[in-house]
Structure 1
């Protein structure tokens, strides 16, 4: 038994009290700093800033009555996570730290967390909001969740903090293992504060302490040591993205040296990585003398790593006692034991044979029959640790290995909605004395002279690079990966290879495949599936004869027996694949890499370099790497992928994203992107747009009665939660007496209606009288029959009189495939509904972008001209709107009453200035002001205010002679781009007119931070899309644009007060007043 029980010196009972105290007493003290690229300070937060920004989020949550609601935190690395986390605490919502899914990554884990927690909200940032929204749309589970960009929240900071107690839940920490049956650890204020007090007792920090962290904030280690401990102990922290560390590991120690950090921690593999990757000349510039506590945990700690790290960096001033092994788990917040900073780590030399029999025998001399075990330190305060026999549930003697049990106020409340698992893990009692309850950690270990040593796992948990993986989940993935594999007849386990845990799969083959087994095909399917679902690389695959895998008498897979059989060669192996770590391909590939000089960076040479580098990482021949296969096919783990991006960055001589290999589906497409070629657009002639634009034959009005209703009683509106959709809804509520049925993707009617109301409130359009006439319809425009069940679909088909189809995905860099489900197939489903039971007019919101084709250059295009040309269209959005409008025209030709409305860029309200500031024009304005420059372009900026567009659409839709026509809602008085820049300058902003080439260079240099408003649009401005190697901006020059005529539309407004305001100073004054009022822009320093 190990225990210590002095009084617990806690001044605050909740984290809310603690943060508010810091904000009131040290408001301007900088606490959190973030290094954007692992090197450059990109932002910081004082206590007051955290308090105020969290208050805005809390006020919003309280307006939703969200106390107790679960909120997914899906932030990219940065300071926004911190504000979102404390916003949840202030409002009493329960935070769920998690990770945004990578491109091409399965959503299964996030879906499982969402389902388990029943989360209703998700927080992220505007920089990835559009991406997350698209990924959520892929999942029925995730599309129920209301996604919010908290960095765009504006509003009152006035709120009343939720009255929390020490037992109030703060967050659910989903352990990084099981995806099939995830368990969310329920962590309270009291748990956290006690754990932080133990960390303080162990670390003996002082007012001069400083720390560096690259650990992900979605992990309990990053959250507690990176966010909560600095707050608790009142010392500053500097953070960086884990990807930036992995890309260039020297960034971690450079930050420790630069900021003279006293503490910083990482898992065992990270210390191995810096020993491998930091060269002697780089070590010469490091001063690590301030580093008092180099914490190490989250995975088994190896004696070789301890000795190697201390020796390697001794010349940098690192003291041997600085290395501080520790032990902990999410079920006890994060910390259970630690080594402190006053003595070197304790390392025991044990007899290996005795250890295999759960006996502890210390021997003096090292040999092949001995094993080194690193102590994980001691407990502190009032925590108790026991070593218990897992079979008899009685306490072990000091020389025995048993299960580690813990009793402590740090031990969490249990697992969310998992009472049986909670009882099994959190409510253990000794069989002989009845003492308890204890937390059963599932880890094996022993106590010697007060030192806790961890020797392994009681169960089969696999820990690789600090992440837990449940073998049953991996086995399920493998069983589904190929039809040749027998379901529920596989084992996943880890073996140690060259001081690192590696994954092995043993899997039975179906009897019908025994004679025709294709080893390469099956192994490839297994490796790809495991990579996609679990982000793991497989070290070996053993394909076993049918019925031969070791099982118990109750038919359970014996994983340990499989592991032993792999190591001693006793398994009945039909075929086997194993990754080579020492064979010649690596040397061959290293030679291949030397043949690519930097000056010849074509798509072909970059592709060849990538093939050689990936084959080198995987130790296979380059001929085995297919550039057309998905990168996930090759099962690179995150460390390998980031390493390749770092080496590629050095070879190309320009900065690249650490996540580059996840952002592009194949080596070929990545290579093309890197030379400015086909990044995301379709290869020439890849899609025949006329073939794509084919309306299903069943969508026809000829057999359905057609009775147009002058004053509809029921109107269906799609896109009501968008910018234009909000104004269309407002106009419909004002100009008609109809009930407006709004198709929305939410979990229930209440949250749907609240979201519609909030959207109207954001744009100053809400009125209480509207509430009774807004009817949310829970569906999905991208799904068959709009995601409605058959009964609901039939009811809508008979009840609705008119449809306004405004829903669309708008993005300026996505490929056509990303738009097709919503923009094209969604339009087809709307037309299908319009033709069912009774004919309903469809008012379709298109875009002038349908005339992007080069065939329209310098030609006058009127409302009456048919949409004919698609050649030379480059933007996926424009392509999707072209195809969708063609479907609408086909429906018109089959007798369906339709109207088409083609707006240009839709700007803010002409009077209030309210605008969706995530819009491309808003981003462009802010980006130019930030850079202090605007490009010299010969182009017209065509902006139509949203109030004009919405009034025009509703007015025209109510005129009988509008049916069958198209209307152009572009501004008859646009503004020249350079004059637009002059107007911005006249408002007091300092921006210089520079050539487009110089502006591009500035953007390329300054725009690669996700905080830059133009970051999501870099391909739009930098990529050379056309055969002439022109960017989209260059393609939009006046010499290449069609002349969109709106004369027929203006004639239809004769006798009304519907007029489009010109793009002049008065309009811009309204917009910039809103930008400043909302906090989107800072006020100019002085007026010109």
Structure 2
């Protein structure tokens, strides 16, 4: 199928037609199954989903106007899907938004509200108490928040979906903000249907074959919304969903469901595959059957070949095939997918000369050596799209052996950013200087084409230039991570010191290695960077787990990390500064307080409720002080968690650690329901007492 023939393959004009067609074809087929953290499952057939969406559409048209923006702020579950499609039925623009952390402000949500000016917020009734609107900004709290789960479903409805053309906007997808503030990508019905058609072709999905998929990706993110919700609906498949927090807590459950459902399709960014390897044992893997897993998509900037190797090696005994990997590349600005592909022997790995790559040249190497770097091919361009590699300065097309900016054109490229006319001209309507060809989307990503596949090398804005040499932050970060087992994800960026660009490396340390020697870790990082990249860092900073700024999709926000470093806002546990490069005014290293091991918890069943609560409370204060890098004496049992910067991953870790010791199955976000060590200890003591009675 060639570039212009994909439009002729589109069967629908808009998303409402797509749902109505599937409900007519497969009324009794399960469309979606959602499993909560306790293992309870709820499912909707296509007929039930269509009826629920029609009910909400009928309710919405009486409250908002055509084209209004409606914010969707939902916990994981099926109600989000019905609300999204209800907006489609009503002819208003759904705006999927990050679920805010309870009892604390949400700057990202503030930015989205300020930008798109929604008329209404749709949510679930369970959210209203936890979010605490009185603690949000007036822009958020003064909006009308409507819990859609309390709207009764109509048994029969004469409401007809508002007619929308392919040119009309379908929804706003806010970018993850890896290099800038979130921007609302305007996705039309034609854009999303074009990309869904390209995905169906690239994934080799047959419409008359019932496809099963299992996903944990957040629904407000483009990969989650399109990959795990709209694509299965487009082909009439069944999608089983779990909450991201469930995956973070128990990644093994993702794979168990793949095994139980005999599912053929799933996927994740790099870190999801890494977490699955790190948090499963050989015994966990031995009971899995992943032989039905036909397509495992992986999208990142860029994809780490070691991640794919480690996952394949770990799960091949369970039937996983390396050839199932589908490395791909895309972004919200192209609706989702741009390139992707599979090979019988697994992903294509290209070894290139590292020094040449720093000069934006591509020199392939037949064999791996000390100066080579492995890159993962992201597959050929999707049907209906055109891709060019362009010099970002001259705007001239690059030769085949050159690295340049990736430009994309075609029906999947969105209409631009909401309220960003000047930016849209430069970003979405670029033309080649050599022949005037356009209009192209400038992705801001760097890469090259080699033997029909796209290889992504990094972000244009993130390239580090030290002493005239180009260094890709991903390369430096990978080297640092491999230097010591306790080094977790991090960011590499440049700062100006004495009028010269200098390298700074900021890395988290892994939770399971909290007692590691931080001096040894920093020494290992410096040694590896100097040996492999011939660049001496200006500073190496170790920060507490889960404090690195990342986007909703797990991408490192390097520019934000740089700002936090310069503003002395990082949660630093140890730091080394190269005094030969200057920088004497940098903050001194804080002392690191080690947390005590909660050995007393093994006797919890023999304690009274009051004794257990007191012991738990004292331990939680020390544990949290250790992880937030403050002295235990400066935290009290009544200190709110919100004041400590506790994020969702840390909250999941608290719950998981307590569950392992106490034998409980706590909700993954119980820390938000019990907003202080005192209240959390009281809750846990009560749960243990209830277990004793049972």
TM bucket by the smaller chain?
0.7 to 0.9
Displacement after TM superposition at 1:323 (Å):
1.6
User: 3-state SS of the aligned residue for 1:57?
Assistant: helix
1:502 aligns with 2:518: no
**TM (normalized to structure 2)?**
0.80
1:592 to 594, 597, 600: 597
1:208·1:235 contact (CA, 8 Å) conserved in 2? yes
In structure 2, relative to structure 1, the CA distance for the partners of 1:614 and 1:398 (3 Å cut) is farther
The whole-number CA distance in structure 1 between the counterparts of 2:227 and 2:392 is: 31
| Residue of structure 1 in register with 2:113 after alignment | 114
Displacement after TM superposition at 1:65 (Å):
4.7
In structure 2, relative to structure 1, the CA distance for the partners of 1:249 and 1:49 (3 Å cut) is same
Displacement after TM superposition at 1:1001 (Å):
8.5
Displacement after TM superposition at 1:530 (Å):
7.3
1:103 aligns with 2:102: yes
How many correspondences in the alignment?
Answer: 613
Superposed CA offset, 1:960-996 (max 9, x none): xxxxxxxxxxxxxxxxxxxxxxxxxxxxxxxxxxxxx
1:159 aligns with 2:126: no
In structure 2, relative to structure 1, the CA distance for the partners of 1:299 and 1:611 (3 Å cut) is farther
1:650 to 660, 668, 683: 660
| Residue of structure 1 in register with 2:325 after alignment | 323
2:236 to 220, 234, 237: 234
The 5-angstrom pairing of residues 532-547 of structure 1 reads none
| Residue of structure 2 in register with 1:148 after alignment | 146
User: 3-state SS of the aligned residue for 1:300?
Assistant: coil
The 5-angstrom pairing of residues 265-664 of structure 1 reads 265-340=267-342, 342-460=344-462, 495-496=477-478, 497-498=480-481, 501-503=489-491, 570-576=581-587, 592-594=597-599, 596-599=601-604, 602-610=612-620, 626=635, 628=637, 629-631=639-641, 635-664=645-674
In structure 2, relative to structure 1, the CA distance for the partners of 1:354 and 1:40 (3 Å cut) is same
User: 3-state SS of the aligned residue for 1:326?
Assistant: strand
The whole-number CA distance in structure 2 between the counterparts of 1:394 and 1:439 is: 15
The whole-number CA distance in structure 1 between the counterparts of 2:31 and 2:269 is: 24
The whole-number CA distance in structure 2 between the counterparts of 1:545 and 1:107 is: 23
| Residue of structure 2 in register with 1:71 after alignment | 70
| Residue of structure 2 in register with 1:46 after alignment | 45
The whole-number CA distance in structure 2 between the counterparts of 1:403 and 1:643 is: 39
In structure 2, relative to structure 1, the CA distance for the partners of 1:214 and 1:421 (3 Å cut) is same
RCO higher in structure (CA 8 A, sep ≥6): 2
| Residue of structure 1 in register with 2:685 after alignment | 675
Displacement after TM superposition at 1:653 (Å):
1.3
Superposed CA offset, 1:424-444 (max 9, x none): 111010011010000111000
1:192·1:410 contact (CA, 8 Å) conserved in 2? yes
1:292·1:341 contact (CA, 8 Å) conserved in 2? no
In structure 2, relative to structure 1, the CA distance for the partners of 1:191 and 1:631 (3 Å cut) is same
1:211 aligns with 2:213: yes
The whole-number CA distance in structure 2 between the counterparts of 1:543 and 1:97 is: 28
User: 3-state SS of the aligned residue for 2:320?
Assistant: coil
In structure 2, relative to structure 1, the CA distance for the partners of 1:208 and 1:49 (3 Å cut) is closer
User: What is the root-mean-square deviation of aligned Cα atoms in Å?
Assistant: 3.9
Displacement after TM superposition at 1:28 (Å):
1.7
In structure 2, relative to structure 1, the CA distance for the partners of 1:267 and 1:625 (3 Å cut) is farther
| Residue of structure 2 in register with 1:835 after alignment | none
User: 3-state SS of the aligned residue for 1:141?
Assistant: helix
1:195·1:334 contact (CA, 8 Å) conserved in 2? yes
In structure 2, relative to structure 1, the CA distance for the partners of 1:175 and 1:568 (3 Å cut) is farther
User: 3-state SS of the aligned residue for 1:597?
Assistant: helix
In structure 2, relative to structure 1, the CA distance for the partners of 1:275 and 1:530 (3 Å cut) is closer
Displacement after TM superposition at 1:178 (Å):
7.3
2:389·2:447 contact (CA, 8 Å) conserved in 1? yes
The whole-number CA distance in structure 2 between the counterparts of 1:396 and 1:568 is: 41
The whole-number CA distance in structure 2 between the counterparts of 1:322 and 1:528 is: 32
In structure 2, relative to structure 1, the CA distance for the partners of 1:275 and 1:213 (3 Å cut) is same
| Residue of structure 2 in register with 1:202 after alignment | 202
The whole-number CA distance in structure 1 between the counterparts of 2:259 and 2:658 is: 27
Displacement after TM superposition at 1:103 (Å):
1.6
In structure 2, relative to structure 1, the CA distance for the partners of 1:542 and 1:461 (3 Å cut) is closer
- Structure 1 residues 163-172 or 106-115, which shifts more? 106-115
The whole-number CA distance in structure 1 between the counterparts of 2:588 and 2:153 is: 59
In structure 2, relative to structure 1, the CA distance for the partners of 1:426 and 1:343 (3 Å cut) is farther
2:104·2:136 contact (CA, 8 Å) conserved in 1? no
1:543·1:576 contact (CA, 8 Å) conserved in 2? no
In structure 2, relative to structure 1, the CA distance for the partners of 1:623 and 1:323 (3 Å cut) is same
**TM (normalized to structure 1)?**
0.52
The whole-number CA distance in structure 1 between the counterparts of 2:172 and 2:270 is: 26
User: 3-state SS of the aligned residue for 1:99?
Assistant: coil
In structure 2, relative to structure 1, the CA distance for the partners of 1:427 and 1:666 (3 Å cut) is same
In structure 2, relative to structure 1, the CA distance for the partners of 1:352 and 1:544 (3 Å cut) is same
In structure 2, relative to structure 1, the CA distance for the partners of 1:1001 and 1:158 (3 Å cut) is farther
1:11 aligns with 2:8: no
In structure 2, relative to structure 1, the CA distance for the partners of 1:342 and 1:528 (3 Å cut) is closer
The whole-number CA distance in structure 1 between the counterparts of 2:212 and 2:355 is: 44
The whole-number CA distance in structure 1 between the counterparts of 2:579 and 2:325 is: 36
2:291·2:320 contact (CA, 8 Å) conserved in 1? yes
1:59·1:158 contact (CA, 8 Å) conserved in 2? no
Superposed CA offset, 1:407-426 (max 9, x none): 11000011111101111111
1:124 aligns with 2:135: no
The whole-number CA distance in structure 1 between the counterparts of 2:190 and 2:441 is: 16
Superposed CA offset, 1:608-627 (max 9, x none): 54456557767x79868845
Displacement after TM superposition at 1:172 (Å):
0.4
Structure 2 portions without partners, runs of 5+: 465-474, 483-487, 498-540, 569-575
The whole-number CA distance in structure 2 between the counterparts of 1:149 and 1:640 is: 28
Displacement after TM superposition at 1:666 (Å):
3.5
User: 3-state SS of the aligned residue for 1:336?
Assistant: strand
Superposed CA offset, 1:647-675 (max 9, x none): 21121211111113344444344223322
1:212·1:261 contact (CA, 8 Å) conserved in 2? yes
2:405·2:443 contact (CA, 8 Å) conserved in 1? yes
- Structure 1 residues 147-156 or 177-186, which shifts more? 177-186
Displacement after TM superposition at 1:633 (Å):
5.7
The whole-number CA distance in structure 2 between the counterparts of 1:154 and 1:88 is: 16
User: 3-state SS of the aligned residue for 1:648?
Assistant: helix
The whole-number CA distance in structure 1 between the counterparts of 2:278 and 2:566 is: 41
1:59·1:159 contact (CA, 8 Å) conserved in 2? yes
1:259 to 236, 240, 261: 261
The whole-number CA distance in structure 2 between the counterparts of 1:403 and 1:537 is: 20
In structure 2, relative to structure 1, the CA distance for the partners of 1:196 and 1:540 (3 Å cut) is closer
1:39·1:251 contact (CA, 8 Å) conserved in 2? no
Superposed CA offset, 1:993-1048 (max 9, x none): xxxx9xx889x99xxxxxxxxxxxxxxxxxxxxxxxxxxxxxxxxxxxxxxxxxxx
